[in-house]
Each structure stands twice: as structure tokens, then as C-alpha cells.
Amino acid sequence: MTITELVVGSKEQSVILSSGFVADIKFDVFYKRWYYDLYENGELRFAGIALNVNTVPLFNMSPVSLGLIDIVGDDEEYEPYNELGTRLMLVEVAE
């Protein structure tokens, strides 16, 4: 397993991952959380995968997955939309 930190900003964007995968990262204003659609070689593989903090939702289901880590790790409240790429570190997990 390989874990790689991805350099992202706090905006909706596409991120090129390893092995021909691309993640379209979006923000859900209703649930106030990030989510992504995962494409392999241009074909949609998974849609609407929630990026809840400190989880890797597709681990063991896909050879490539994204995880979101709160690097501060305290109980202080924050705004998820503004913290992607700073307090909320996006990582690629590849098997």
C-alpha cells in the first residue's frame, strides 16, 4: 500500500491519480462535506463517494482511493469547504 499526499486547494477540481485514475472532487453544500467521482481511463467507476474526515471509503474496493485526514485532530469546529488542502489533507491510497 502506498499513501501519497495530494496538493489541492479548497475548490472543486479534478485530480490525476496513479494507474490511469482521475478523481473529480466536489463539495456538497447540504451535508457540508467533500465527495468525489472516480474515473478509470475516462470511464466512471464510482460516483458520489463521501470524503468523511479520517476515512478512506473505497479501501479494498478499488486499487486507488482517496482519504481525507484532519491533521490538527482536535475537536475545534471548522468549515470543511475552506480547509481542503490545509487542515484537511487529501491523500491517495494505492494498493
Give residue-wise pLDDT tens across range 55-90: 999 999 999 999 999 999 887 888 999 999 999 999
pLDDT at 35: 97
Assigned C-alpha cell, 83:
480547509
Kindly tell me the sign of the dihedral angle through the C-alpha atoms of 67, 73, 79, 83. Answer: negative
Assigned C-alpha cell, 40:
478509470
Where do we find the cell 486547494? 9
The arithmetic mean of pLDDT across residues 18-44, rounded, is 96
pLDDT at 76: 83
Distance CA 72, CA 53 (A): 11
pLDDT at 75: 78
Containing H/E element for 90? strand 88-94
pLDDT at 74: 80
